[in-house]
Amino acid sequence: MKFLVVDDSATMRRIVINSLQRIGYSDTVEAGDGQEALAKFDSSVKFVITDWNMPNMSGTEFTKVLRSRADGAHVPVLMVTARSVKEDILTAMEAGVNNYIVKPFTPAVLKEKIDALLPAVAA
C-alpha cells in the first residue's frame, strides 16, 4: 500500500516514513507542501499523511482540493500536526480529514489511526 507523506519538515517526513516502515509499510512517496503533494498524488496512492502548517499550500487546503478530485475523494487522509485546539481539529474535519494525530506522536498512535482507516482502503 502506497503512502503519500506531506510535511515541510524533512525531519518529520523521515520520522513518519521510518515509523511507517517499522509498522510494515515501506512504499512511500513524500512532498514538502500541499502543491507538491497534489502534483505527486495519483491513483496508486492509497493513504495520505499530511502536516497542517506548510508554505505554498497548507494541509487543510490540500485536503479540500484532494477531495474535489475524482481520484482523491475517498482516499484516507490522516493529519499529523502540532495544532491541537478544538477549533483547529473541527476545521480539519470540515476540510475532509479522516483522523488526526497530535505532534509529538508515537508509532503506536500512528499504527492505531492507520489500522482504524484501513477498512476504507480495502473498500
Residues near another protein (CB under 8 A): 7-9, 11-12, 14-15, 18-19, 22, 52-55, 58, 74-77, 81-86, 89-90, 93, 96-107, 109, 117, 120-121
Rounded least distance, CB 112 to another protein, Å: 10
Min. distance of Cβ 84 from another protein in angstroms? Answer: 4
Residues 6 or more apart from 98 whose CB is under 8 A from it? 76, 77, 78, 117, 120
Q: Which residues pair with 81 in a beta bridge?
A: 102
Cα dist. 1→42, 66, 103, 118 in Å? Answer: 13, 18, 24, 10
Tell me the three state secondary structure of residue 47.
Answer: strand
Q: Closest distance between another protein and the C-beta of residue 69, in Å?
A: 14
Which residue, 28 or 81, is less far from another protein as judged by CB? 81
Residue 27 vs 56, nearer CB to another protein: 56
Q: Which is nearer to another protein, 71 or 104 (CB)?
A: 104
Distance separating alpha carbons of residues 48 and 28, to the nearest angstrom: 10
Nearer CB in complex with another protein: 40/66: 66
Shortest reach from residue 119's CB to another protein, in Å: 8
Q: How many CB atoms lie within 10 A of CB 104?
A: 10
